[in-house]
């Protein structure tokens, strides 16, 4: 076992600092504003973004130091290629890494204090930082939509089946609606209903669906997974990385989901696949999962083994099918 050098630790610390700088630029629209201007000094950038000039001047220096900005021959700021990739609207935007980094730091601070008392305050900790919550849905979309579109959706048959009969897909805990939008763009006949407990998520979901011309097939509203009602029985009810949040009440949850399904319907669960062997947590794809499982403990949750999910679906009278996708798993429970 080798000891990491101080230089390696400093490089890791600077990596976190770099993402902190990027986070400030994302949530305050500085990358997008400079993209529109093409080039600007800090005063004009502050005016374009509607921010304080003093803060923007210091941010520009820091963003330049970490390579998010470049200086042209006129001493004006321009986006570097890395900076341009942080624009939320950029194709293949990498802004999720910046949002996730600051969220992780927040959760680490909360875990450090709560470890002394054992308190587990629940999901409200996600809303404790006002600059993070509005970006939570887009962060998840950036992290998971490509995997869903390119790997999961083509390989899990239930999606094509629901589309073929013009069925209703319900997403519980829909965030900004990205899952249903991805489904609707791939499945031309499918209809969608997204429910979420955060009003900001519902607002974003409605707005984006309208902008993308999907509001005739997709609808979103506030709803509680414990006490929701549907306008009609669903062909598919999805829980995306949400089951572990309500695992202690899984019996009642699955009974309710089953009672809201059509005879040929299915519950579709997407979760991180917690490994049976802790030694696997050293593998690069699983390191982040190990860290997140600590932050899930703050929220009163923990990640699940795929077999646990399949067993719970079977107990609810559903026929489980397991589809592994690297460090994630899809478990489909059919009526």
Indicate the domain borders of the chain.
1-134, 153-334
pLDDT band at 91 (very low <50, low <70, confident <90, very high): very high
pLDDT band at 281 (very low <50, low <70, confident <90, very high): very high
- Looking at every residue in the chain, the average pLDDT score rounds to 94
Three-class HEC string of the chain = CCCCCHHHHHHHHHHHHHHHHHHHHHHCCHHHHHHHHCCECHHHHHHHHCCCHHHHHHHHHHHHHCCCEEECCCCCEEECHHHHHCCCCCCCCCHHHHHHHHHHHHHHHHHHHHCCCCCCCCHHHHHCCCCCHHHHHHHHHHHHHHHHHHHHHHHCCHHHHHHHCCCEEEEECCCCCHHHHHHHHHCCCCEEEEEECCHHHHHHHHHHHHHCCCCCCEEEEECCCCCCCCCCCEEEEEEECCHHHCHHHHHHHHHHHHHCEEEEEEEEEEEEECCCCHHHHHCHHHHHHHHHHHHHHHCCCCCECHHHHHHHHHHCCCEEEEEEECCEEEEEEEC
What does the pLDDT average to over 289-293? 95
- Say what the pLDDT of residue 209 is: 96
pLDDT band at 227 (very low <50, low <70, confident <90, very high): confident
- Say what the pLDDT of residue 1 is: 63
- Say what the pLDDT of residue 154 is: 95
Above 70 in pLDDT, residue 300?
A: yes
> For 34-62, how does the pLDDT look when each residue is reduced to its tens digit (9 = 90+)?
999 999 999 999 999 999 999 999 999 99
Q: Could you say which of 3.30.460.80, 3.40.50.720, 3.40.50.150, 3.40.50.300 is the CATH number of the domain covering 153-334? A: 3.40.50.150
What does the pLDDT average to over 150-174? 96
What does the pLDDT average to over 187-210? 93
Q: Could you say which of 1.20.58.2030, 1.10.10.10, 3.30.420.40, 3.40.50.300 is the CATH number of the domain covering 1-134? A: 1.10.10.10
- Do 1-134 and 153-334 agree at the fold level? no
Above 90 in pLDDT, residue 123?
A: no
Q: Which residue has the higher pLDDT, 76 or 137?
A: 76
Q: Which residue has the higher pLDDT, 2 or 196?
A: 196
């Amino acid at each position: 076992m080798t000891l990491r050098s101080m230089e390696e630790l400093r490089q890791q610390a600077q990596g976190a600092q770099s993402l902190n700088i990027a986070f400030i630029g994302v949530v305050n629209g500085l990358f997008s504003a400079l993209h529109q201007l093409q080039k600007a000094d800090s005063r004009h950038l502050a005016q374009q973004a509607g921010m304080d000039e003093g803060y923007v001047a210091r941010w520009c220096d820091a963003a330049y130091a970490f390579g998010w900005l470049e200086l042209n021959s006129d001493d004006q700021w321009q986006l570097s290629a890395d900076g341009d990739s942080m624009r939320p609207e950029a194709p293949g935007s990498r802004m999720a890494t910046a949002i996730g980094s600051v969220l992780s730091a927040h959760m680490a601070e909360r875990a450090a204090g709560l470890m002394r008392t054992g308190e587990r305050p629940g999901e409200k900790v996600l809303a404790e930082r006002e600059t993070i919550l509005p970006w939570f849905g887009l962060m998840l979309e950036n992290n998971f939509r490509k995997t869903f579109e390119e790997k999961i959706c083509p390989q899990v048959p239930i999606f094509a089946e629901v589309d073929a009969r013009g069925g209703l897909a319900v997403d519980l805990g829909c965030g900004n609606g990205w899952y249903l939008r991805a489904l609707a763009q791939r499945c031309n006949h499918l209809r969608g209903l997204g429910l979420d407990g955060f009003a900001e998520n519902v607002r974003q979901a409605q707005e984006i669906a309208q902008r993308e011309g999907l509001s005739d097939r997709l609808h979103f509203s506030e709803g509680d997974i414990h006490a929701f009602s549907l306008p009609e029985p669903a062909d598919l009810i999805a829980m995306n990385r949400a089951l572990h949040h309500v695992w202690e009440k899984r019996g009642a949850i699955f009974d309710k989901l089953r009672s809201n399904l059509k005879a040929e319907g299915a519950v579709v669960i997407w979760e991180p696949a917690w490994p049976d062997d802790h030694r696997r947590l050293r593998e690069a794809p699983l390191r982040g999962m190990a860290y997140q499982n600590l932050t899930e403990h703050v929220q009163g949750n923990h990640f699940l083994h795929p077999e646990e999910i399949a067993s719970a679906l079977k107990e609810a009278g559903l026929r489980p099918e397991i589809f592994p996708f690297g460090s994630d798993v899809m478990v489909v429970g059919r009526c």
